[in-house]
């Protein structure tokens, strides 16, 4: 029997986070939908993101393979935009408006990779960074 757990298929270990993130989903019709959420965990090749579908209308069965761009709010006040592809999506059973997606980073540059590694390394050094990021994010909205 094949293991269906996405974590079992990962090439890189993930680190737990709570970074504010903005997602832009691009459909085949060239439509773009924007959502805000939180990066739950991250590795150098992908991330788990949780976001709100305010109206509860999103069909998660059609998310796999959709290209998105995520914008992570960095502690210095800058943003890191990374192109991604959704590899899996589920609705949260405790909150019908919450969606969880697993994304794989695509077309990342050396600059992206360096920034991602820096975020992962910082996470282990600065526990207060999460709150700093959240405060910066709240000021923007």
Domains and CATH numbers, the chain: 15-140 (2.40.10.220)
The DSSP secondary-structure symbol of 93 reads S
- What is the structure's pLDDT at 3? 47
Half-sphere exposure of 30 (CA within 13 A, CB side): 0
3-state secondary structure of 109: coil
- What is the structure's pLDDT at 39? 92
- What is the structure's pLDDT at 119? 83
Q: Which residue from 84, 86, 81 is spatially nearest to 71, judged by alpha carbons? A: 81
Along the chain (141 residues), what's the average pLDDT of each consecutive run of 10 residues? 51 66 80 88 93 86 92 82 95 89 94 88 61 70 63
Distances (CA, A) of 46 to 21, 52, 96, 115: 14, 20, 24, 13
Give yes or no for a contact between 38 and 101, defined as CB atoms under 8 angstroms apart.
Answer: no
- What is the structure's pLDDT at 26? 77
- What is the structure's pLDDT at 35? 92
């Amino acid at each position: 029997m094949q293991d269906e757990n996405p974590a079992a298929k990962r090439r890189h270990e993930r680190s737990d986070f709570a970074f504010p993130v903005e997602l832009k989903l691009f459909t085949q019709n060239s439509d773009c939908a924007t959502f805000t959420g939180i990066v739950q965990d991250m590795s150098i090749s992908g991330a788990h993101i949780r976001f709100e579908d305010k109206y509860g209308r999103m069909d998660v069965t059609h998310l796999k393979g959709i290209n998105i761009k995520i914008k992570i709010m960095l502690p210095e006040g800058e943003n890191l935009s990374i192109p991604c592809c959704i590899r899996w999506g589920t609705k949260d059973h405790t909150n019908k408006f919450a969606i969880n997606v697993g994304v794989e980073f695509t077309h990342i540059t050396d600059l992206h990779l360096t920034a991602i590694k820096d975020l992962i390394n910082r996470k282990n050094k600065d526990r207060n960074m999460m709150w700093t990021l959240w405060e910066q994010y709240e000021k923007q909205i």
